[in-house]
Structure 1
């Protein structure tokens, strides 16, 4: 018995070596880890059927109670039998794969055993098939029960081996030989198959636990990256936010370079290749263009597949993922590698997870902007209302000019039309070009100056390069209107009023300045104006409060709103807005503007 036990332990060792080698293969790990479709079931039948065949060939021949030392069994004498680990592979196949796999493995191993011969060939073949069917049926429940442990599999394997011994006693003839065989092989086979089942299940459990740990680490990393990038993606796809996001992703992945684009240009490229993959340039690689067109993940494992225009580019592999907002591709996230081997399955799955998370973040960013727009609707509706006196005065002025200066009257009618149109458009938009806001200001001033031609002068000093930069509507017009209506009211001096509007770029920011030489503001009101409405004889300060509130909601801490004033010396209001915010807002607001 001891000799047989040692020899069978060697045979189990062979199978376990094979299992260990298979466990290092990603394809086998996927089969074990995932739900089994028909393809996976066929692969399991092939793998465990092969185990059964190997077990038959490496079985130990038993003749008259004596153990043969022959290593490879291809033909068993009529009076001989085999002690092997065949049921081990069959039982495990059934437990892991279910009824179809158990049946398939049982048939392969059982039929093969019959072809080798021996007086127990039929009994062993039948018991093998029965073991496959029974463990397959058990396996259907075994897979769903989270409480199952390797020890339960061991018990099932031992029971199947005992059943095989019973079938040999019932079916093998002569009975005396069958009984002698069972006495010799029963205990070693039960012990070794139980031990082999335990080791095998521990390996499988290790695979599953390793996969779970890997997924947990991937999930943790992906969520951490998502948490770090969320404040930037909330700003949308712009150069500043994408540069920060790309730096975070590069730090926490094995990629050699990270690039983020919108539909037309590279917004950020961090890492290797930054010398020619330049931010704010048009999308150059064909691979990225294909992703933008097709809206699906594409991978490349050579520089030729990436199709970079730069001949000495060291990036030789890439994963390009579409960033989608409401089902439409708004841009791409690209992970580049200098060595294609770095782009392993873990990095690919992490990248795919990040792509989905970032798409969700962009959708949330747009939803947040829309929410701000809805919250701002009431404010804009109030701002869009025209003061009845202003309308009546404008109409009266135009009516008088119709008799005295028809061309001037026609010009003012057009300005009144522009003023109304700007009010209506501003109530619908979140951002408009600075040029449109200036048209609103000029239309208002034209109508007011027609009524009071010598009351004040207006100077506009605007840098042409920022005329298309987007700003919230009703940012400058209410300030100019405030100056006209309040700054020169009951002025103690007889000087002509001066209103100056300036707009210029400074340190990647746009500065809007509205200045007058009017009455100024009392110091006790200066600290609270813009922070809340007030109750005073000059007005409520609603316009200043609304402007400040809206720019804080849209730009956050990147915007500044500052009031300088001195009694009888005038008022200066300075608004500072970040230019980086416009990279994503440009495309978004233009679509709103057209709508």
Structure 2
């Protein structure tokens, strides 16, 4: 019995070695975490090879209970038996792939045992299938939400599998063979199944931990590179991105290209992989042309024309935006043995993230251009109706007071000059906006002497920025709509005060007749059809405020029979080069 125990331990070592080699393959590990028809087919094929090996490497036991140890059993007399690790393999297959895989592997193992055993002992087919089914069903129940049962359960299931097998052997061969093989086979196959499942658990756990670490690294990289990729794929962004990647990874060199040109190359080979030069390597050209990832394990595969290039392995991936290749992301090693599955998984994740970041940058740029175009279009709509009234006023003054007409013409010139200048900018200084409003009011006061009174209460510096035409829209709206038939004492007050250290409030009030409740609901929300003018100025201004600063700057309107106040809150910023 002791001799048999040692010999079976040697056979167990062979199975464990094969299991260790198998679990080191990414393909096999990929079969373990999902149970589909495809994965079950592959697991059946793999474990069937194992179960055949277990039969071939068994220990032969003659009819006289002598132990024979051929290197490989190629044939077995009908009177002899074998002690092997077949049940270990069937148990492991059942726990890994479920009852279907367990039964199929049991069928293969049992058939093979019968065939090379001289077509005797057909009970091995039945016992092997039964073990595969029972252990598969029982294992699925006890493992719960986990991938595998706990070690005590694996030991119990393996022990139970051997008891089933021993029951069949006892029924067909009697107690004599059982006495010789029971302890060695039950002990070693139970231990072997536990070791096999622990190897799988350990490797999968390590891989998950590695994925977690990679995910953390990728997220940090993504966070640091996003500001640069949002600016687009150019020399400056590529240089910063490559430096960040080099800092966070173990690659000997990192490069970025567009479709034609090297944008950046950090690390080994930087003396000839130069930013601004055409893409140098055949590998990169192929990736850009085909839009597919490529790996190179030699200098020849990289295809660098420089003879003493130190780069001997590479992973090159396309950067794609809207299904179009816009560049390539390149990772190099000087020592090809450093390039493993870990690095390949990492760079695949980076390529996906960077492609997404580039797409975000392009989308943001297009949105910005669109918003700016809309703002320009809205600005143009603000002033035209004022022009006609001003010309009529100047025409009338020419008949009665040429000097006043001349002054009105100068104010009109100043007004439209500032309109053209301010219209080129999204934001202007408070000083510029006040000059524009003053020019407008000068003309209105000439049209209606002693009618309007404009006052300012300003508690912020005049170099603060606000949307162009902002005050002018409020004032013009009051002049045209607030006072009705009132001929004098029409007051408009502009108050500008800080709200906190980051924002300020503009409030423009009048002492007019107030706004009808039905009209009030529409102001700023939609263009208002009216008989005089376009009725779009306040709506356009409200759209501009929210487009520039967000919903917090939306117009606020309060009204009563004693007048109306328009308010908005704007971030506190200053003209470039100025300070508070």
TM-score (norm 2): 0.64
Q: Which residue of 1 aligns with 2:58?
A: 59
Q: Which residue of 2 aligns with 1:474?
A: 425
Distance in 2 between the 1:312 and 1:484 partners? 69
**SS of the residue 1:208 aligns to:** helix
Q: Which residue of 2 aligns with 1:70?
A: 69
Q: Which residue of 2 aligns with 1:153?
A: 154
Q: Which residue of 2 aligns with 1:464?
A: none
Correspondence 1:350 to 2:334: no
Q: Report the CA distance shift for 1:389/1:29 in structure 2 as closer, same or farther (over 3 A).
A: closer
Distance in 2 between the 1:540 and 1:266 partners? 56
Distance in 2 between the 1:261 and 1:392 partners? 57
CA shift for structure 1 position 195: 1.5
Q: Which residue of 2 aligns with 1:589?
A: none
Distance in 2 between the 1:126 and 1:210 partners? 38
Q: Report the CA distance shift for 1:7/1:275 in structure 2 as closer, same or farther (over 3 A).
A: closer
Distance in 2 between the 1:232 and 1:299 partners? 27
Q: Deviations along 1:497-547, whole A, 9 cap, x unmatched?
A: xxxxxxxxxxxxxxxxxxxxxxxxx99764552268779999999xxx999
Which of 303, 328, 333 matches 1:332?
328
Confirm or deny: 8 A CA contact 1:65 1:184 kept in the other structure. no
Q: Which residue of 2 aligns with 1:88?
A: 88
Confirm or deny: 8 A CA contact 1:376 1:550 kept in the other structure. no
Correspondence 1:186 to 2:192: no
Q: Deviations along 1:426-449, whole A, 9 cap, x unmatched?
A: xxxxxxxxxxxxxxxxxxxxxx99
CA shift for structure 1 position 248: 0.7
Confirm or deny: 8 A CA contact 1:102 1:136 kept in the other structure. yes
CA shift for structure 1 position 549: 12
**SS of the residue 1:186 aligns to:** helix
Moved more, 137-146 or 297-306: 137-146
Q: Unaligned stretches of 5+ in structure 1?
A: 397-447, 457-471, 491-521, 554-560, 564-572, 576-595
Query: What does 1:360-371 correspond to in 2, within 5 Å?
Result: 360-369=356-365
Query: What does 1:123-202 correspond to in 2, within 5 Å?
Result: 123-136=123-136, 145-146=145-146, 148-170=149-171, 172=172, 177-202=173-198
**SS of the residue 1:296 aligns to:** coil
CA shift for structure 1 position 293: 4.0
Confirm or deny: 8 A CA contact 2:242 2:256 kept in the other structure. yes
Q: Which residue of 2 aligns with 1:114?
A: 114
The count of residues paired between Structure 1 and Structure 2 equals 463
Q: Report the CA distance shift for 1:389/1:23 in structure 2 as closer, same or farther (over 3 A).
A: closer
CA shift for structure 1 position 308: 4.0
Confirm or deny: 8 A CA contact 1:81 1:118 kept in the other structure. no
Moved more, 161-170 or 295-304: 295-304
Confirm or deny: 8 A CA contact 2:229 2:354 kept in the other structure. yes
Moved more, 271-280 or 191-200: 271-280
Q: Report the CA distance shift for 1:150/1:311 in structure 2 as closer, same or farther (over 3 A).
A: same
**SS of the residue 2:174 aligns to:** helix
Q: Deviations along 1:320-364, whole A, 9 cap, x unmatched?
A: 323233433333322233333333221111111011112222333
CA shift for structure 1 position 246: 1.0
Q: Which residue of 2 aligns with 1:566?
A: none
Distance in 2 between the 1:268 and 1:486 partners? 51
CA shift for structure 1 position 390: 7.7
Distance in 2 between the 1:485 and 1:25 partners? 75
Q: Deviations along 1:392-430, whole A, 9 cap, x unmatched?
A: 59999xxxxxxxxxxxxxxxxxxxxxxxxxxxxxxxxxx
Q: Report the CA distance shift for 1:55/1:243 in structure 2 as closer, same or farther (over 3 A).
A: same
Distance in 2 between the 1:476 and 1:531 partners? 5
**SS of the residue 2:295 aligns to:** strand
Confirm or deny: 8 A CA contact 1:486 1:538 kept in the other structure. no
Q: Which residue of 1 aligns with 2:480?
A: none
Q: Report the CA distance shift for 1:102/1:220 in structure 2 as closer, same or farther (over 3 A).
A: same
Moved more, 350-359 or 144-153: 144-153
Distance in 2 between the 1:130 and 1:5 partners? 26
Moved more, 73-82 or 209-218: 73-82
Distance in 1 between the 2:348 and 2:33 partners? 19
CA shift for structure 1 position 284: 4.6
Query: What does 1:13-24 correspond to in 2, within 5 Å?
Result: 13-24=13-24
Q: Which residue of 2 aligns with 1:255?
A: 251
Q: Unaligned stretches of 5+ in structure 2?
A: 393-408, 418-422, 442-456, 476-491, 497-505, 507-540, 551-572
Distance in 1 between the 2:357 and 2:123 partners? 64
CA shift for structure 1 position 312: 4.3
CA shift for structure 1 position 227: 1.9
**SS of the residue 2:82 aligns to:** strand
Q: Report the CA distance shift for 1:37/1:386 in structure 2 as closer, same or farther (over 3 A).
A: same
